[in-house]
Amino acid sequence: MRPIPTRARALTAAAAVGVVAAGGAVAVATSASAAAGCSVSYSANSWSTGFTGNVTVTNLGDPISGGWRLTWTWPGNQQITQGWSATITQSGTAVTAANPSWSASLGTNATANFGFNANYSGTNTAPASFSLNGVVCNGGTTSPSPSNSTSPSTSTSPSTSTSPSPSTSVTPGVRVDNPYVGVKGYVNPEWKAKAESVSGGSRVSNNPTAVWMDRIAAINGSTDSSSNGAMGMRAHLDAALAQGAGYIQFVIYNLPGRDCSALASNGELGPNDLPKYKTDYIDPIAAIQADAKYKNLRIINIVEIDSLPNLVTNVGSAAGATATCDTMKANGGYVQGIGYALNKLGALGNTYNYVDAAHHGWIGWDTNFGPTADIMLQAAQASGNVKNVHGFITNTANYSALKETNFTVGTTVGGTTVRQSKWVDWNQYVDELSFAQAFRAKLISVGFDSGIGMLIDTSRNGWGGSARPSGPSSSTNVDTFVNESRIDRRIHAGNWCNQSGAGLGERPTAAPAAGIDAYVWVKPPGESDGSSKLIPNNEGKGFDQMCDPAYTGNARNGNSMSGALPDAPISGAWFPAQFAQLMANAYPAL
């Protein structure tokens, strides 16, 4: 069990509703024919002497092209100390937030989001009103008069904003140390039905699994159930309430230029679609999760798997470098996108953000280990507060063994360390548990909160069945010893697609080991990693040769066979043959 943080974080919020401004010499009101208007959503995540503010402004009037500024006045002694995604200045109680250089335009119905850290004493009361380029944001629009006066009128009008009102959509509360302890998890009825459609599936169908939000259409659900199902986020949350579940898990997975090193899990958004990621994907998710009806439900967000480590291992002159990964590092899309997601979702009192931290077979080498922790800190800092990260998850949708019981990284064979074997390849770790615990310590050392916890995805890393070694090898050759002793039976530790011989791993369990919040099934067993051949689809998912059983490999997997199962559908689609194999090779056995 990880230590409980010393400072509880409560969420308070208020919305800005004001009066209509008369107009004037501002960007949105340069003539009598230009309509002006705006709405603002404001929240404050407060503690005893400080808070993190989050502001979203929506332009309801004509497009703004010459830059925007949002102004307000503090009713108390609040003092901003740091801001992000806007240039924020304060004079006395008056605050101005101006657009960053990369976001001077704000189209009709477009939103801009920014945040800040601030100090206060006494009562942290929200601002009474906000103004966008001199126009008070009341949720409606007005055509300004020819006058250049910027003084607001004294008339008031009811808000017509569709932005969530904090009284009904922002959830107050204090996060618990470990959201998995003491409550039952949500069982996805769509996955449960698929599992039970395979003989013997009822033995595991009541385990909680994560729901993948892998495209914008998944938020509201769709009639296309070929992939992750037709239920949208709100439908899953409502079902969780009906089940009496204490927690529900979502995978937030739709970054621009997603998964830049693997075609099978490419997404619908291009490398330059960060604004769309924010407004069309993260903002709607945050709005749904903020609904007060879900205030007693612990919402666990697994944030953007297989992203940040790519900016370390698959860029520049690295063996696995790709042009898309180079682009995403250069344009900041991954760091800023994840920062935005952490900021929006971290502002809610009952959400828990766990950032994906790859696995030992990816970043277990010294050259990758520290730099990956550093770039994760950058993404957390881009959110405005590293405390927006509750923890990290390793082995998501992967197959690395939880524990190699027959040897450790310190084992020697005939005077030769196992690190020198072809399988271990000088890695500092041989299994996920030792890696996750060590990486947690590294993350804390670079600046994360000492209370962070780790998750390990054990949905497909059991490696039971007849191929599982019963004990250590007696060979004195280090390669033979490791190959005959290892629990992980993959051809190469870099193989990741629909692996032949894999089995279900440890069932979802809370607080199983030091520093580990839970073993979880984030990748629902039986959902494909990618298609064995090119299958046209409308989800942006391509064909990756690592999913082809006949593929003979590349530099990233030591030019080894892929080890993939045949006849697989696109990633996320139901793959009953794989599910049957996973049950047959489960460890612990079913």
Tokens of residue 92, six digits: 């006395």
Does 21 have pLDDT greater than 50? no
Q: What burial class does residue 468 get, using C-beta atoms within 10 Å of its C-beta: 0-12 exposed, 13-18 middle, 19+ buried?
A: middle
Is the distance from CB of 527 to CB of 572 less than 8 angstroms? Answer: yes
- The pLDDT score that the predictor gives to residue 542 is 79
For the chain, domains (ranges, CATH) are 10-154 (2.60.40.290), 189-584 (3.20.20.40)
504-528 per-position pLDDT tens digit: 999 999 999 999 999 999 999 999 9
Q: What does DSSP say about strands 10-16 and 36-46: parallel, antiparallel, or unpaired?
A: antiparallel
For residues 1 and 312, which has the higher predicted lDDT (pLDDT)? 312
For residues 404 and 27, which has the higher predicted lDDT (pLDDT)? 404
Does 243 have pLDDT greater than 60? yes
- The pLDDT score that the predictor gives to residue 223 is 54
Banded model confidence at residue 171, pLDDT cuts 50, 70, 90: very low
Query: In a 3-state reduction of DSSP, which class is residue 82?
Result: strand
Average pLDDT over residues 533-549: 86
Interior angle at CA 563, CA 258 and CA 360, nearest 5: 60
- The pLDDT score that the predictor gives to residue 406 is 97
Q: Does the annotation place 62 within a ligand binding site?
A: no
- Residues with Cβ within 8 Å of residue 415, at least 6 apart in sequence: none
Strand partners, 94: 73, 91
For residues 263 and 529, which has the higher predicted lDDT (pLDDT)? 529
354-385 per-position pLDDT tens digit: 999 999 999 999 999 999 999 999 999 999 99
Does 268 have pLDDT greater than 70? yes
Ranking 195-209, 231-245, 255-269 by mean pLDDT, the lowest is 255-269
- The pLDDT score that the predictor gives to residue 9 is 29
- The pLDDT score that the predictor gives to residue 109 is 84
46-91 per-position pLDDT tens digit: 777 888 888 988 999 888 888 899 999 999 999 998 887 889 999 8
- Residues with Cβ within 8 Å of residue 477, at least 6 apart in sequence: 413, 414
Does 127 have pLDDT greater than 90? yes
- The pLDDT score that the predictor gives to residue 34 is 57
Name the CA radius of gyration of the chain, rounded. 25
Is the distance from CB of 99 to CB of 57 less than 8 angstroms? Answer: no
Q: Does the annotation place 390 within a ligand binding site?
A: no
557-577 per-position pLDDT tens digit: 888 999 999 999 988 899 999
Is the distance from CB of 75 to CB of 124 less than 8 angstroms? Answer: no
Q: Does the annotation place 192 within a ligand binding site?
A: no
Does 147 have pLDDT greater than 70? no
How crowded is the C-beta side of 126, counted as CA atoms within 13 Å? 23
- The pLDDT score that the predictor gives to residue 79 is 94
Query: In a 3-state reduction of DSSP, which class is residue 181?
Result: coil
Does 184 have pLDDT greater than 90? yes
Q: What is the dihedral angle through the alpha carbons of 440, 444, 450, 456, rounded to the nearest 10 degrees? A: -20
Banded model confidence at residue 267, pLDDT cuts 50, 70, 90: confident
- The pLDDT score that the predictor gives to residue 550 is 95
Which residue numbers are catalytic?
Answer: 259, 306, 529
Does 336 have pLDDT greater than 50? yes
Does 319 have pLDDT greater than 90? no
- The pLDDT score that the predictor gives to residue 30 is 30
- The pLDDT score that the predictor gives to residue 102 is 67
Q: Does the annotation place 362 within a ligand binding site?
A: yes
Banded model confidence at residue 146, pLDDT cuts 50, 70, 90: very low
Average pLDDT over residues 223-236: 72
Q: What does DSSP say about strands 111-119 and 130-132: parallel, antiparallel, or unpaired?
A: unpaired
Q: Does the annotation place 388 within a ligand binding site?
A: no
- Residues with Cβ within 8 Å of residue 466, at least 6 apart in sequence: none
- The pLDDT score that the predictor gives to residue 105 is 83
Tokens of residue 85, six digits: 């995604």
Q: Does the annotation place 331 within a ligand binding site?
A: no
Does 11 have pLDDT greater than 70? no
Does 159 have pLDDT greater than 80? no
Mean pLDDT value across the chain: 86
104-119 per-position pLDDT tens digit: 788 888 888 888 889 9
- The pLDDT score that the predictor gives to residue 265 is 67
Q: Does the annotation place 212 within a ligand binding site?
A: yes
Does 148 have pLDDT greater than 80? no
For residues 10 and 290, which has the higher predicted lDDT (pLDDT)? 290
Is the distance from CB of 548 to CB of 562 less than 8 angstroms? Answer: yes
Q: Does the annotation place 291 within a ligand binding site?
A: no
Average pLDDT over residues 206-226: 85
427-440 per-position pLDDT tens digit: 999 999 999 999 99
Tokens of residue 530, six digits: 């990618």
- How far apart CA 508 and CA 519 sit, in angstroms, is 5
Q: What burial class does residue 410 get, using C-beta atoms within 10 Å of its C-beta: 0-12 exposed, 13-18 middle, 19+ buried?
A: exposed
